[in-house]
Structure 1
Amino acid sequence: MAGKVTKGLAGLRQAAGHTQQSFVVAFMDEAARLGIDASLSVRQLRRWERETPPPLPHPSQQVVLEAMLGVPLAETGFDVPGHRMTVAAPISDAGGVKRRTFVADTGALAAGAFFPTRPGPRIGTADLGRLRTRLDGLYQTDHTEGSVPAMAEARRIEGEITGVLGAASYTSRIGRELQTMLAELHGHRAWYGYDGGLIDEGRVACIEALAAAQLVDNPLLQVSVLETLVLLAIKAGRAWEAASAVENAYRLATSAGAGHTVHLVIALRDANVATHTGDLSGARRALSRAVTFQGRADADTEVPNWAQFAGPFEVDYATADMYVRAAQPKRAVPFLHAAVRGIGGDLARNSASYRVKLAGVLLDAGEADEACGEMSAVLDACGGIASPRLLGKIREFQRAACRVDSTAARECGERIRETVRGGTA
């Protein structure tokens, strides 16, 4: 009897890719989904798998186990009394016994419950780890080389994942992880659309990402997409959509128990919306919240990859943006100086973007020489960054410099023409 139980229950659990701990979690989820008052502990699961004879599950536990495993309880090695036996029979047969039934023979169900019958290769945790490493590497590529090469790599990874999902064999847990990665990739593509000025494409990617994140029931992943949607909606002139995205992001983050850094990102997007619409009082309130969240961020034990960019320099940058919107460039300058100092060299693309912003604000404040000095530093550093948004900002500064009657401005404008003629930034 003990050997039969091990081959049955423990074997099906292992085939599903579950540890004993994760199986218990899945059991509780299934019970909640079925609306059944049933519980399970790791200790009890161990008794079921190891003891001779194993203790019989309660009737409510039996229903949940059979729903999870797709086979009658008796086929997993338990000695089930006749009045609790389940059978394979048509449920519409008026003469049949009215017990829970199965729609196929137990052997087919046991094999098909966890391993899709497909001709492709079997995908395991090692394959998943390699894909995850490449996916996480997109952040570094985007920060250091720009969105253009990052988009190319993202498309390659996406092609591999969709191919695996459609043709390979994998456990339900690995399938869920693959779908989560696909949702993340859609989110990356949304950001690349924003950075590349492809706003409509970015919004479509956001919708795909939100749908995929909902399917895997990942609220924080939905928040990451919504914070990008805010930026895209602002660019598309859809301030109401951006404001709605902020509200939903706050709601999801709160219900998921997200940390202070995630709330900091949302507060910054809230400030983006208020600044764009000219609601400077709203912008100040959002920035005050951001300062509060930033002050507590050290208490976070875990921060999602997509939120790790957020820090004091982002708050300073957003504050400067508010002053620029209020037509007070001189008040924006010290905040931009602080942002440039604080951002660090590992975020090369954002660092260059911050300095271009500083250069433009200095120019508006009448500090042409200092502005051109900042722009020269950007041109020295950004040669290997392929970012359409950064290139657009540099060209915008060039147009502004052309209107300034200054030797430094004329020389800087000429250097920009020579540097970006081929669109290298």
Structure 2
Amino acid sequence: MSELVRLRQAAGHTQESFVGFFLEEAARMGVHASVSVRQLRRWERESPPPLPHPSQQMVLEAIFGVPLVEMGFGVPQHRLTVSAPMSDPETVKRRTFVADVGALAAGSLMPDRPGPRVGTADVAQLRKKLDALYRMDHSLGSVPALERSRRIEKEITSALRCASYTSRVGHELQTLLAELHGHRAWYGYDGGRIGQGRASCLEALAAAQLVDDSMLQISVLETLVLLSIKAERTWEAAGAVENARWLATRAGAGHTVHLVIALREANVATHVGDLAGTRRALSRAVSHQGRADMDENVPKWARFAGPFEIDYATADMYVRAQQPRRAVPFLRAAVRGIGGGLARNGASYRVKLAGVLLDAGEVEEACAEMGAVLDACSGIRSPKLLKRVAEFRQSVVRIDNADARACGERIRETISGGIA
């Protein structure tokens, strides 16, 4: 039996059903590729089998989650695929993002109201505040961002309720409110307030639907995936992934948006222990990442996605498979690859790396990594980060080792001093 036959049968496909599944996967990836039953039979029967076209290779590797050469094909050097961290700066093309600076056009004026007139300049000021909120969350954490968001929400809702404005300005104000609720959903996730986060997601989704903004709906759905996983509502998380993919296809979204969706699909599959599904989702993510430089416009919420996120999700898969040593190089790459403007996420990644190193038996290195986190995270107020640090301490204090004891004591002193 050929390796390709074994892989196909392990996936539960006949030759006929595999051909249909291949077409569906190609459509999901945005790849123009197909295969016939006759061609599949040749691949499985002949030795060596005929080499698939590059587009067919992309789909086959996404379906089975292994390089083409491991399926039994003779693959030339320039077509070899390797399983390695994505964040190597020598091999990854850096993308230049193009911001959306479309002008605001005036429409019909809303009925007169007792409050002041709100125009495009006022909307621009609110937009600056919302953008600053995003940066605050990534640099200082969700606690101060949540406090600031409440003041911004009062400004937006007061304008919508009391002011006079054109229909276009009203549309922009409602869009800002939808984005704000989307931020608040994330703060719920970061702060462990899952119920509040899901409620904010529902508000954000309703507002995004009212302004008919597909990209905004996708951004909320990708947060809903994370919240639903935490709430043990995996059916809801899976549904959010599928709805996001449908919206992205309908809207003609670029590869970066599809990359985010693939990463969330990997989150769901990893959580339920479907590691084959995780590998397929990660293969799809790698495919989209490789074509992300074709995107002309990338939504702000999707700009975080890149090689380091793929590496982090790959590490998560290995952790779920109880293979911490295989997770370590991917976590190291993720820590190296994350941008300096994402201080909270960077600290969170390093805590994850420290924990995995500890699980792998590398106590001294794990404690050194945690020490670097404590040096860097002063001023970051993130309940999720604090919880991860505390969980690391619970593990490290059980180890009878001088480095472990010193690390545990430093964490205790730092937490009592009010970090995060």
The bucket for the TM-score relative to the shorter chain is 0.7 to 0.9
The aligned amino acid for 2:295 is D
Q: Is the 8 A contact 1:401 1:413 kept in 2?
A: yes
For structure 1, the residue ranges without an aligned partner over 5 or more in a row are: 1-16, 24-112
Q: Which residue is 1:51 aligned to?
A: none
| C-alpha distance in structure 2 between counterparts of 1:336 and 1:406, whole Å | 24
* Shift of residue 422, structure 1, vs aligned partner: 3.9
Q: Which residue is 1:392 aligned to?
A: 387
The equivalent position to 1:194 in structure 2, one of 176, 189, 193, is 189
Q: Is the 8 A contact 1:391 1:423 kept in 2?
A: no
The equivalent position to 1:151 in structure 2, one of 132, 146, 149, is 146
The aligned amino acid for 1:327 is Q
| C-alpha distance in structure 2 between counterparts of 1:171 and 1:134, whole Å | 21
Give a deviation string over 1:80-134, Cα, whole Å, max 9, x none.
xxxxxxxxxxxxxxxxxxxxxxxxxxxxxxxxx6232101000111111000011
The equivalent position to 2:220 in structure 1, one of 225, 238, 241, is 225
Q: Which residue is 1:320 aligned to?
A: 315
Which aligned segments of 4 or more residues in structure 1 are displaced greater than 3 angstroms? none
| C-alpha distance in structure 2 between counterparts of 1:334 and 1:288, whole Å | 18
The aligned amino acid for 1:274 is A
Call closer, same or farther: CA 1:261–1:413 in 2, change over 3 Å. Answer: same
Are residue 134 (structure 1) and residue 129 (structure 2) matched? yes
Q: Is the 8 A contact 2:110 2:165 kept in 1?
A: yes
| C-alpha distance in structure 1 between counterparts of 2:374 and 2:417, whole Å | 13
Give a deviation string over 1:206-241, Cα, whole Å, max 9, x none.
000000000000011000000000000000011111
* Shift of residue 374, structure 1, vs aligned partner: 0.3
Q: Which residue is 2:377 aligned to?
A: 382
| C-alpha distance in structure 2 between counterparts of 1:389 and 1:154, whole Å | 19
Q: Which residue is 1:243 aligned to?
A: 238
Flag the structure with larger Rg.
1
For structure 2, the residue ranges without an aligned partner over 5 or more in a row are: 1-103
Q: Which residue is 2:210 aligned to?
A: 215
Helix, strand or coil for the counterpart of 1:313? helix
Are residue 254 (structure 1) and residue 249 (structure 2) matched? yes
* Shift of residue 298, structure 1, vs aligned partner: 1.1
Helix, strand or coil for the counterpart of 1:301? coil
Are residue 304 (structure 1) and residue 304 (structure 2) matched? no
| C-alpha distance in structure 2 between counterparts of 1:132 and 1:344, whole Å | 23
* Shift of residue 303, structure 1, vs aligned partner: 1.0
* Shift of residue 344, structure 1, vs aligned partner: 2.3
How many corresponding residue pairs? 317
Q: Which residue is 1:365 aligned to?
A: 360
The aligned amino acid for 1:204 is A
Helix, strand or coil for the counterpart of 1:157? helix
Q: Which residue is 2:34 aligned to?
A: none
* Shift of residue 421, structure 1, vs aligned partner: 1.0
Q: Is the 8 A contact 1:264 1:310 kept in 2?
A: yes
Helix, strand or coil for the counterpart of 2:291? helix
Q: Which residue is 2:328 aligned to?
A: 333
Are residue 120 (structure 1) and residue 104 (structure 2) matched? no
The aligned amino acid for 2:114 is P
| C-alpha distance in structure 2 between counterparts of 1:172 and 1:132, whole Å | 17
RMSD (Å) for aligned C-alpha atoms: 1.1
Q: Which residue is 1:88 aligned to?
A: none
The aligned amino acid for 1:246 is V
Q: Is the 8 A contact 2:225 2:264 kept in 1?
A: yes
Identity of aligned residues (%): 72
Q: Give the alignment of 1:11-160 within 5 angstroms.
A: 18=105, 114-160=109-155
Give a deviation string over 1:294-320, Cα, whole Å, max 9, x none.
111111111111111111000000000
Give a deviation string over 1:232-286, Cα, whole Å, max 9, x none.
0000011111000000000001101111111111100000000000000000000
Q: Is the 8 A contact 2:248 2:258 kept in 1?
A: yes
Q: Which residue is 2:17 aligned to?
A: none
Q: Which residue is 2:266 aligned to?
A: 271
Q: Is the 8 A contact 2:109 2:164 kept in 1?
A: no
* Shift of residue 137, structure 1, vs aligned partner: 1.2
The equivalent position to 2:398 in structure 1, one of 387, 403, 415, is 403
* Shift of residue 202, structure 1, vs aligned partner: 0.2
| C-alpha distance in structure 2 between counterparts of 1:422 and 1:163, whole Å | 39
* Shift of residue 18, structure 1, vs aligned partner: 4.3
| C-alpha distance in structure 2 between counterparts of 1:302 and 1:161, whole Å | 27
| C-alpha distance in structure 1 between counterparts of 2:110 and 2:361, whole Å | 68
